[in-house]
Amino acid sequence: MKNYKIKPLKSTADYKEALDNLREVWEAQPNTPEGDQLELLLMVIEKYEDEHHQMPQLDPVEAIKYKMEEDGLSQKDLVKYFGTKSRVSEVLGGKKPLTLKMIKSLYHDFGIPAKTLLI
């Protein structure tokens, strides 16, 4: 096992080096020295990415469509969140807004962050 000096990432070079180190310990088991390195590397990488590689905020409808594609769902699978097939079509087509009830259901049952749905 190579013992990496884990430090705050202050440059792109630091970030790339941390990613290379991460690849080497990716399969590490928890509660081992390698597992501890993996955990620490993930923390500093996540912090760097949050500060330097922010993802654009998704439109609520785009987030729903993305989740549908990711999970292999069709519009009929959303009826339980929206109430009716026509309401699903209206919301996904941009003709009707999400209601608070829909937002709560999509957040709790569909796993879309509330911050995304409330835009």
How many Cβ atoms sit within 10 Å of the Cβ of residue 44? 17
- Its pTM stands at 0.54
The four Cα atoms 30, 33, 39, 41 give a dihedral, to 10 degrees, of: -150
Q: Closest Cα partner for 117 from 91, 90, 86?
A: 91
| pLDDT tens-place values along the chain, 119 residues long | 566 688 999 999 999 999 999 889 989 899 999 999 999 999 999 899 888 877 677 899 999 999 999 899 999 999 988 999 999 999 999 999 999 999 998 988 888 888 888 87
**Joined tokens for residue 103:** 């937002």
- Measured CA distances, 81 to 7, 10, 12, 110 (Å): 45, 44, 42, 8
